[in-house]
């Protein structure tokens, strides 16, 4: 070939070559960088709550609240209001708040403790934000810039404020107090370790989350009084003192004496307390306390100790007189009231109550005038009702969250009270939660789906129009994300569909054999698989997939949101049917060509700890390694309300308790089992774990043990990261 001697030609050729080479280099660099980005791995600090970098890897969210019917956004440094169209307008900043608080007399440290994250907006027609701590209360007027401060004489364990009455109830050393414009008033004097006022009762079962209930007009306060003097002290130990001291908790065990609860009503005008005339209150549970809209009546559910007969009672709030029984419900296994009543805003004669009497959680309309249930408002086409958000008063509709689109989803619906028609609000995918404006015209819809990390929409509940306020980016983009799938298999009964989640190892090779870990809970009121982001998978599952494990999660019969029959199939024999279903999952795993059936592990916490231990003992040849956290070992050591609902008493169901007393099968342990518990656990008390360890020592088997002194039923903060480091090491040491 003849070479050109034209210099300009040679120069152009070289320039063109350099351009090509540079382009190739840029492409190579991009591909290399992209590959490296996609190959970034997670650490437990990234994936476990309490991890130093955990916040970077959860989807961005939008924190909102309502000030009357005005939507507010709460950021770290400022609070803004929605202009109704496209933008947020600032109201005030954290700096402005702190300056006002310091001018009102707080020091710098105190003012910084009142962050915007704890702001409430109790007055719909006043520009005031309210902030509270255990020792003080502050109201900040953002228009005038003036703050009003109230200090309390002693730390409070909780507070309950009535905007209508401008009055705050609070608990101090087990006694109940209120604070109003005249200062503090003590409503009780004999509060003690044995007698407790104004706190949650019945160990937070039956939907109970607080112990005080203000009347709508703010002039009267209904409250719980719990006499637990007949309940033995369970001797938890505090090792933080120079010589360890006893830190007892009242713990009524199944079949033993339970506490006695009564309800008082304090009237501010007279300064007197009357008591609801419920009888001797022996072995009775009281929940769902609700005031009538006119503040003259009090309604509550009375459930017997067997938990198979519930009555809805009506009392005169001024005299405490029991006026009538409005409604009764029985079931051969159990009923479980979880919600109070909700009166129609436009008709004080009618209220909505919840019931599973038709097999699923539905809402029913009741007329006080006719003293009867008028109709069911939510039929089977709406699935199970998860939440009643409130009302659109203009259209006379209720706004609910339910499983109407799928058992694996929560979706928002508007249901017309009179017509019975319903309308989907937002889209028909994913798992949604709602925050309704007081007038019900708008709902903030926060949701995710398997592919959508998080989205926040503002929806007009009348016409369904959607305005997107936030669409979060994928915080896992550029990281090693395993393949996460959801599927269905049959329960041990051969007919019931069960939902599972399967996570394959990152860099999955179908020709390899991988160890597999089953993560399990299995008990009532909880499920682990849904159609939220990544099918509800936990960060630890992703981490284990990254280390080369298959992770499998199955919601067996007995778990929640599938109806009463699906849940109560476990009645009087907790563990038995659940394990049968979990073994269907084991059979499925063994059928996968890439799962090494000789390397199966199982892990769970609380009820899942019970299931883990039970599976390791009952199917000892199937599981090589297990990690059980905070496990129930013997149901007679569990508390009255939960334990007896599902198992009856040990006296009435001796075989059921015996069959699932894991200490009796301690000698069946073959694989490696690690038990972890909080040394100060008031839920699954240490006696569970310690009795099992002693039984294993007697039987000659060898479980491993780890405890967290000072922690309760769960490990939080840095302890939680340490916990999952240890769990991971255990599987790496013994299952890999």
Residues 6 or more apart from 698 whose CB is under 8 A from it? 666
Q: From CA 516, how far away is CA 505, in angstroms rounded?
A: 10
Distance of CA 266 to the CA centre of its chain: 32
Q: Provide the annotated active-site residues.
A: 606, 681, 713
Contact status, residue 134 vs residue 159, Cβ threshold 8 Å: no
**DSSP state for residue 290 in the 8-state scheme:** E
Cβ atoms within 10 Å of 726's Cβ, excluding its own = 13
Rounded to 5°, the CA angle 129-133-134 comes to 150
DSSP string, 404-472: SS-TT-BEEEEEETTT--EEEES-SSSEEEEEE-TTSSEEEEEEEETTEEEEEEEEETTT--EEEEEE-
Q: Are 410 and 401 in contact (CB under 8 A)?
A: yes
- Quick count: other Cβ atoms within 10 Å of Cβ 642? 22
Residue 244: which of 235, 252, 253 has the closest Cα? 235
CB 585 within 8 Å of CB 516 = no
For 573-586, give the DSSP string.
-TTHHHHHHHHHHH
Q: State the residue for tokens 């414009």.
A: 181
Q: Which residues lie below 8 Å from residue 638, measured CB to CB, with a gap of 6+?
A: 253, 254, 632, 684
Cα 22 to chain centroid distance, Å, stands at 55
CB 544 within 8 A of CB 728: yes
**279 three-state secondary structure:** coil
Choose among 112, 106, 114, 153: nearest CA to 133: 114
CB 372 within 8 A of CB 366: yes
- The residue written with tokens 């009820």 in the block is 607
Give the other-Cβ count within 10 Å of 277's Cβ: 15
In DSSP notation, 457-490 reads EEEETTT--EEEEEE---TTTTB----EEEEEEE
Distance CA(117)–CA(122), nearest Å, equals 15
Separation of CA 306 from chain center: 26
Q: Where do we find the tokens 């342990």?
A: 669
Closest CA to 556 of 531, 535, 576: 576
Run of H or E including 309:
strand 309-316
Pick from 581, 453, 573, 437: nearest CA to 521: 581
| Eight-class DSSP state of 41 | P
At 540, which helix (H) or strand (E)?
helix 539-546
Q: Which helix (H) or strand (E) holds 274?
A: strand 272-275
CA-wise closest residue to 707 among 619, 631, 616, 626: 631
Backbone angles phi, psi at 571, to 5 degrees: -55, 130
Under 8 Å between Cβ of 254 and 635: yes
| Furthest-apart CA atoms within the chain: distance in Å | 115
Could you give phi then psi for residue 490, rounded to 5 degrees? -85, 145
Alpha-carbon distance values, 559 to 528, 566, 581 (Å): 9, 8, 11
């Amino acid at each position: 070939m003849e070479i050109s001697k034209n210099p300009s030609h040679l120069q152009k050729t070289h320039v063109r070559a350099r351009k090509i080479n540079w382009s190739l280099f840029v492409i190579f660099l991009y591909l290399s960088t992209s590959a490296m980005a996609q190959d970034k791995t997670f650490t437990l600090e990234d994936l476990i709550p309490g991890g130093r970098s955990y916040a970077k890897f959860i989807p961005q969210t939008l924190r909102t609240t309502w000030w009357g019917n005005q939507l507010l956004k709460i950021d770290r440094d400022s609070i803004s209001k929605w202009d109704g169209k496209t933008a947020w307008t600032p109201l005030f900043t954290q700096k402005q708040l702190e300056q006002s608080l310091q001018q009102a007399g707080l020091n710098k440290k105190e003012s910084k403790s009142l962050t915007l994250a704890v702001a409430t907006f109790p007055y719909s027609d006043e520009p005031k934000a309210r902030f509270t701590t255990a020792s003080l209360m502050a109201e900040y007027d953002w228009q005038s810039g003036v703050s009003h401060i109230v200090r309390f004489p002693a730390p409070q364990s909780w507070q309950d404020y009535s905007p209508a009455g401008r009055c705050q109830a609070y608990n101090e050393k087990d006694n109940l107090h209120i604070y109003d414009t005249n200062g503090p008033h003590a409503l009780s004097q004999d509060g003690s370790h044995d007698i407790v006022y104004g706190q949650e009762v019945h160990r937070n079962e039956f939907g109970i989350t607080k112990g005080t209930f203000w009347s709508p007009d703010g002039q009267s306060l209904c409250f719980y009084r719990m006499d637990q003097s007949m309940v033995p002290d369970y001797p938890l130990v505090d090792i933080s003192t120079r010589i360890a001291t006893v830190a007892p908790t009242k713990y009524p065990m199944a079949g033993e004496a339970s506490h006695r609860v009564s309800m008082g009503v304090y009237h501010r005008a007279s300064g007197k307390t009357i008591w609801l005339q419920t009888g001797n209150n022996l072995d009775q549970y009281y929940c769902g306390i609700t005031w009538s809209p006119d503040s003259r009546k009090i309604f509550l559910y009375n459930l017997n100790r067997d938990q198979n007969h519930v009555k809805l009672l009506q009392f005169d709030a001024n005299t405490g007189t029991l006026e009538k029984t409005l409604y009764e419900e029985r079931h051969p296994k159990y009923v479980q009231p979880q919600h109070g009543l909700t009166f129609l805003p436009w008709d004080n004669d009618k209220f909505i109550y919840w019931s599973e009497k038709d097999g699923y959680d539905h809402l029913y309309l009741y007329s006080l005038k006719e003293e009867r249930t008028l109709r069911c408002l939510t039929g089977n086409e709406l699935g199970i009702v998860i939440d009643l958000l409130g009302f659109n008063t203009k259209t006379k509709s209720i706004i609910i969250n339910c499983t109407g689109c799928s058992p694996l989803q929560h979706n928002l619906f508007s249901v017309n009270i009179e017509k019975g028609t319903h309308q989907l609000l937002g889209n028909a995918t994913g798992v949604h939660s709602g925050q309704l404006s007081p007038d019900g015209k708008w709902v903030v819809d926060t949701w995710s789906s398997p592919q959508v990390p998080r989205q926040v929409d503002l929806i007009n509940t009348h016409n369904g129009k959607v305005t997107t306020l936030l669409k979060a980016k994928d915080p896992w983009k550029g990281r090693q994300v395993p393949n996460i799938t959801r599927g269905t298999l049959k329960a041990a009964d051969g007919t019931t569909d069960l939902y599972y989640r399967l996570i394959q190892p990152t860099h999955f090779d179908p020709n390899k054999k991988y160890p597999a870990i089953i993560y399990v809970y299995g008990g009532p009121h909880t499920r682990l698989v849904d159609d939220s982001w990544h099918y509800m998978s936990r960060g630890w599952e992703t981490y284990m997939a990254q280390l080369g494990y298959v992770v499998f999660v199955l919601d067996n019969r007995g778990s929640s949101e599938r109806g009463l029959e699906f849940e109560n199939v476990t009645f009087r024999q907790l563990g038995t049917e659940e394990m049968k279903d979990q073994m269907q999952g084991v059979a499925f795993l063994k059928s996968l060509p890439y799962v090494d059936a000789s390397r199966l592990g199982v892990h769970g916490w609380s009820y899942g700890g019970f299931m883990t231990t039970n599976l390791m003992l009952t199917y000892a040849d199937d599981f090589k390694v297990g990690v059980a956290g905070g496990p129930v070992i013997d149901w007679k050591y569990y508390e009255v309300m939960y334990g007896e609902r599902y198992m009856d008493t040990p006296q009435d169901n001796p075989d059921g308790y015996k069959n699932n007393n894991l200490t009796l099968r301690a000698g069946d342990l073959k694989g490696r089992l690690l038990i972890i518990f909080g040394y100060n656990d008031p839920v699954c008390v240490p006696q569970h774990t310690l009795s099992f360890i002693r039984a294993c020592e007697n039987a000659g088997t060898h479980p491993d043990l780890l405890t967290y002194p000072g922690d309760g039923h769960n490990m939080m903060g840095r302890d939680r990261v340490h916990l999952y480091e240890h769990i991971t090491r255990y599987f790496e040491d013994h299952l890999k």
